[in-house]
Structure 1
Amino acid sequence: MTVYAHPADTITNCGGTLARHADAGDEIVALILTHGGRIHANRYAEEWRKDNPDEAIAAAGLDDIVEFKKAELRRAADIVGISRVVTLDHDDSSAALQDSLVDEVAAQIAAERPDVIICDYPQNPVVAGNTHTVATTTALAALGRAGTYLRNLDGQSEYHVKQVFLTSLPVYPVDGLSLFGVRNDVFVDITPVVGRKIAAMDCFDSQGYSGLFARKLIESANGEAGRAAGVNFAEGYYRLYNETHGTLPVTPAAMEVDPLTRHVSYSRIDLRREYPV
């Protein structure tokens, strides 16, 4: 399950990872907390800048804008392989943790019973105007609430997810010492599905995410994460919970990588040539 503030966030942050899980047969539920009508409303703001704006676009109300964005998300979800999209449709100017919304998210978590939750790495919670941070603090509070359900009182049993992966931590160094351990500690190689992530981002035309921006974002953000991971394109994560193993874990990627030549192998894809606008 992904828990994000706005319609496009699931795709931009972890669309490649979701595509790989979909290909592996996993069920994916995308939970979107707000309607996203005001965020990145390029299609409508830019129309007003024209000398002769299209009346149908310029006069669009909130319901029209929201439905247009939901249609974009549905198309993107189909491309990536998201099984189900759940939209709670709260206002996207929310700036504080709300008990009622925590209850809604907790109920969704308890109903879906996901093994994994993916959401944004939260900024300092005093940055109250950042709806991404509000969304994540809501999700974390909901996890705690779902973990205290009692069937006698709530009609359903407690539920605990196995792991939470936080996206968008803007730190990519490849060792655990340079920033005293704060870094993305898990990378998912999205190179095999990068074309699908581009196609999914191209669906969000109303936000100006289609075309050049989609390719620039993936080249820069996923390309830099790929450099740290030793692959062409990757998505980085920070694990909320520690992990327990029977022996010290070493990944297949770590066993197979050639440190001498990986900088050549992870530089082989010309994204804009292979996926032109």
Structure 2
Amino acid sequence: MKVMTIYAHPADTITNCGGTLARHADVGDEVVALILTHGGRIHANRYAEEWRKDAPDAAIAGAGLDDIVAFKKGELQRAADIVGISRVITLDRDDRDAALHDELVETVAEQIAAERPDVIICDYPQNPVMAANTHTVATTTVLAALGRAGAYLRNLDGRAEYHVKQVFLTSLPVFPTDGLSLFGVRNDVFVDITPVVGRKVAAMDCFDSQGYSGLFARKLIESANGEAGRAAGVNFAEGFYRLYNETHAVLPVTPAAMADDPLTRHVSYSRINLRAEYPIAE
């Protein structure tokens, strides 16, 4: 299987699905990450905080956009190496983009057609009227690009049409465990990232420029992945919402569901003390 993530900013791939990518990489799947923007202005903690000091470091406080982008790309590559992303593709768009751009849709469609992934992972578009939400803009771009990639004609476009098998959306802020809650809008797939949670912690620790390293990395995983794990019956999980329906020969019930014991699983999924097992480096 080939997995392709498409996100707005450098850290998004790791925070949203870094554990899932590590599990795919561990079974030999190819993982490619496409990042739409350079992320030079968003979460610029390293630079903004330096200005607050009485004697700021001139090299940090005076960094230009190219310097910031290069620093963030280094963080992203180190994180990608930890979780097993085989290739990172950066388009370096300005991270203030707040609208759908036809030329970017075409670029993303070309990347999808060239990479030919089986699966794409991107953000759930929270609210299409929130133009300032670059995550929504990014996913809207992806959905438009999927349609365009599926309409390519070799004799007109120089490339054949391509259709992905499934799109998994992240950051849906709903974790209920049954389909009747909130009229069925919920994460409908969970991936147990407990075996690789240490790698997700280490990967998030790479994003020091954003203030993601240390305490925040552990808090995010404890809260978001811990709550998804509670819903999934494991210590830590990442939740997804499938864009397309799936067809099976028989009704699908996972081995994890068959083995689950609702009476005692709250004990088993509460055993790991994340901060004790993965302490912050001094």
Aligned match of 1:29: 32
Trace 1:23-172 onto structure 2 (pairs within 5 A).
Answer: 23-172=26-175
Counterpart in 1 of 2:261?
258
Partners of 1:168 and 1:125 in 2: CA distance: 15
For residues 248 and 236 of structure 2, the distance between their equivalents in structure 1, rounded to whole angstroms, comes to 28
Shift of 1:77: 0.2
Q: What is the number of equivalent residue pairs in this alignment?
A: 277
CA contact (8 A) 2:123 2:170 kept: yes
In structure 1, what is the equivalent of residue 231 of structure 2?
Answer: 228
- Alignment identity in percent? 87
Which of 172, 179, 194 in structure 2 is aligned with 1:191? 194
Q: Of the candidates 11, 20, 23, which is equivalent to residue 23 of structure 2?
A: 20
Q: Which residue is equivalent to 1:248?
A: 251
Q: What is the deviation of 1:123?
A: 1.4
Partner of 1:176 in structure 2?
Answer: 179
Q: What are the superposed Cα offsets for residues 131-160 of structure 1, whole Å, 9 maximum, x if unpaired?
A: 000000000000000000000011010000
Structure 1, residues 72-91: CA drift from partner, whole Å, max 9, x if none?
A: 00000000000100000000
Q: How much has 1:12 moved relative to structure 2?
A: 0.1
SS in 1 for 2:82: helix
| Matched letter for residue 265 of structure 2 | R
Distance (whole Å) between structure 2 residues aligned to residue 247 and residue 174 of structure 1: 22
Letter in 1 for 2:98: A
Scaled by the length of structure 1, the TM-score of the pair is: 1.00
**Amino acid paired to 2:220:** L
> Contact 2:126–2:172 at 8 Å: present in 1 too?
no
Give unpaired runs (5+ residues) of structure 1: none
Q: In 1, distance between residues paired with 2:157 and 2:27?
A: 34
Q: What code does the residue aligned with 2:35 have? A: I
SS at match of 1:51: coil
Runs of 4+ in 1 over 6 A off after TM superposition: none
State the alpha-carbon separation in 2 of the partners of residues 216 and 170 from structure 1: 16
Whole-Å Cα distance in 2 between the matches of residues 259 and 47 of structure 1? 49
TM-score (norm 2): 0.98
Secondary structure at the counterpart of residue 13 of structure 1: helix
Residues 167-210 of structure 1, C-alpha deviation per residue, up to 9 Å, x if partnerless? 00000110000111000000000000000000000000000000
Query: Where does residue 238 of structure 1 map in the other structure?
Result: 241
For 2:229 and 2:126, the matched residues in 1 are separated by 23
Give runs of aligned pairs for residues 198-209 of structure 1, distance below 5 A: 198-209=201-212
Which whole-Å CA distance do the structure 2 matches of 1:123 and 1:211 have between them? 28
Q: What is the one-letter code of the residue matched to 2:89?
A: V
Note the alpha carbon deviations across 1:111-144, whole angstroms, 9 max, x for none.
0000000000001111000000000000000000
CA RMSD of aligned residues (A): 0.3
Query: 1:267 offset after TM fit, Å?
Result: 0.2
